[in-house]
Amino acid sequence: MSDLGSEELEEEGENDLGEYEGERNEAGERHGHGKARLPNGDTYEGNYEHGKRHGQGVYKFKNGARYMGEYVQNKKHGHGTFIYPDGSRYEGEWADDQRHGYGVYYYVNNDTYTGEWFAHQRHGQGTYFYAETGSKYIGTWVNGQQEGAAELIHLNHRYQGKFFNKNPVGPGKYVFDIGCEQHGEYRLTDVERGDEEEEEEATMMTVLPRWKATKITELALWTPTLPEEQPPADGPGAEEALETEGGGEPSEEGQALADGSEGETDSMRPGEDDGEGSREEGREDFRYDTIDQGIVSFEEEENKQSEPPE
């Protein structure tokens, strides 16, 4: 059963309560622990309060579904597990008979969604795992759809950017495990149609995002800045080193060594090497070869993924 649809399952009506065996209060209402068999064939065993399911209980539907968890005034509210007739399962928080809060949904095809829910739909931060491909979407959801900043992780690379209506849009980048990043953006383009199609159908063009690469860079890793350590002095003894320090001015030979060391440090700074321009040109060539060979193709990956059930 789709996790986005209503359960559409009959529950106990207020006027026809069926059979009941259990505790009652002085007013004769179901109150405390009891068992009930409803006229539609459903059963409930658990706690009651003033004639309504309230507290922990187990509700079994005649179609094979069942709910095990907390009730408040006849409605699923709190933490509970719902097993649907098709075998899918939700474990998490409920509010006013709806999936609401944090929970995990296990789908029939072994996909899983772990994250926030709002009014029965995936909404907020969440992770969707595609069992068939091993891919994983980590990011924001809006009304059941992938939307907002997210990361789509595949087996040997990942995409970081923004999504809208389950599709990537705008600037983003692909990060490859081999140690490079491909920057670019997804632009909306019309799907090509054949000449044999009618003019009326041609007016309804399907718009899909297409990846446009701009550059390839080395993998950007954050490294902490550490204070430079002075190398130990070689040659002169401790007494000579003290004499030199007490002299106030370094020797010409020491000054030359210091200047040479600083020059070596400057030559290693990124972006100041004379050969940097030639490396950028090489990256441009590799970039377009990469696109032509189809190393990065969101459409191919999208076909491999199993979409969340609607």
pLDDT at 19: 92
What is the CA angle 44-113-105, rounded to 5?
10
Is 108's pLDDT higher than 90? yes
51-61 average pLDDT score: 96
Report whether 211 contacts 298 (CB < 8 A): yes
Q: Model confidence over 2-25: pLDDT tens digits?
A: 443 333 343 444 455 689 999 999
* Residue written as token pair 């923004």: 162
Is 40's pLDDT higher than 70? yes
How many Å apart are CA 66 and CA 47, to the nearest integer? 16
Spell out where 86-206 has E strands.
Answer: 89-95, 98-106, 112-118, 121-129, 136-142, 145-153, 157-164, 167-176, 180-190
- Provide the whole-model pTM: 0.63
181-201 average pLDDT score: 66
Query: pLDDT class for 226, splitting at 50, 70, 90?
Result: low
98-132 per-residue burial string, b: 16 or more CB within 10 A, e: under 16: bbbeebbbbbeeebbbbbbbbebbbbeebbbbbee
Report whether 131 contacts 306 (CB < 8 A): yes
Query: pLDDT class for 141, splitting at 50, 70, 90?
Result: very high
- Go through the domains of the chain in sequence order and give each one's CATH number: 109-191+207-219 (2.20.110)
Q: Per mean pLDDT, which of 3-12, 209-218, 243-252 is the most reliable?
A: 209-218
How many Å apart are CA 115 and CA 67, to the nearest integer? 20
Instruction: Share the mean pLDDT of the chain.
Output: 74
Identity at 8, one-letter amino acid code: E
Query: pLDDT class for 263, splitting at 50, 70, 90?
Result: very low
pLDDT at 221: 62
pLDDT at 260: 39
Q: Model confidence over 228-245: pLDDT tens digits?
A: 666 665 555 444 444 444
